[in-house]
Amino acid sequence: MNEDYLIDFLSQYNGFEKDYKMLPKEEIIRALMNITMPNDLSEEFYEKQDEYLQNLLSRFALEDARKLEYDHQICLWKGDITKIKADAIVNACNEQMLGCFIPMHKCIDNAIHSFAGLQVRRDMMRIMAEQGHPEPNGQVKVTKGYNLPAKYIFHTVGPVTNGVPTKENVDDLSHCYLSCLKQADEMGLKNIVFCSIATGVYAFPIESASLLALQTTMLYLKTTKSRLRVVFDLFSDKDFETYQKTWKQLLSSK
């Protein structure tokens, strides 16, 4: 079975001899993928990995960004960003841009890399090696979505705050959204799905972040006359309710 192959292969690749029998195989595979630097993985490995990840994906009912309801080309959606069919989804990254190396960590960076496959880390290793320095805040790099239902992943670094954002933090977060929106239009995409950038461990207050995200997007769509459809994906009920409240306030003030 592919599960046993992946566990054996990645254990040997990473030099582990630990007995994982007490853990679910899905957790073992994800944890091993999280720590793997794909310097020279074989084509056979990628084939087995892809088959495994596609089988995992087939167990879920997927959302389709084309079929969501939009208001002013914007949609608020509560769900798992790794389970939506879209032209692009946005990944909130750190400045190294290589994904999360903490096994089974619950951040979005970990989830996206885990379900897309190790090709994403491989591609970002090449991109960052060519760049030669850590990624500045507010820019964007693009990879394929590989085993995700999204065609592309847009990787962007948000500002780290202490819960009280500075003007520079605000400008950086605004540029995260603008860079991704412009990139999507330059690529001729029809839709893009954002996460709530920098509002997790980076501690940008979601009340002000949601206002900034929605205002920036509305202004971009209006001034550029872009036909792009923009989804804001919130994973928790609390975050979704915050965005809903902000969105209603913005619409009522128009």
DSSP code at position 162: S
What's residue 200's pLDDT? 87
Domain ranges of the chain: 1-59, 64-252
What integer best gives the mean pLDDT of the chain?
95
**pLDDT tens track for 121-156:** 999 999 999 999 999 999 999 999 999 999 999 999
Residue 236, classed as helix, strand or coil, is coil
Tell whether pTM > 0.85: yes
**pLDDT tens track for 20-58:** 667 899 999 999 999 999 999 999 999 999 999 999 999
Fold of 64-252: Leucine Aminopeptidase, subunit E; domain 1 (3.40.220)
- What are 233's strand-pairing partners? 77
Angle made by CA atoms 213, 132, 108, in degrees to the nearest 5: 35
Whether residue 1 has pLDDT greater than 80:
no
Whether residue 17 has pLDDT greater than 80:
no
pLDDT category of residue 175 using cuts at 50, 70 and 90:
very high
What's residue 18's pLDDT? 67
Looking up tokens 């920098």, which residue turns up? 198
Closest CA to 216 of 149, 134, 158: 158
Choose the weakest-confidence range: 16-30, 52-66, 113-127, 167-181: 16-30
Q: Angle, nearest 10°, between helix axes 43-57 and 108-116?
A: 110
Of residues 203 and 229, the one with the higher pLDDT is 229
DSSP code at position 142: E
φ, ψ for residue 48, nearest 5 deg: -65, -40
Dihedral Cα 223, 225, 226, 230, nearest 10 deg = 70
Q: How far apart are CA 139 and CA 187, in angstroms?
A: 16
Residue 45, classed as helix, strand or coil, is helix
Whether residue 162 has pLDDT greater than 90:
no
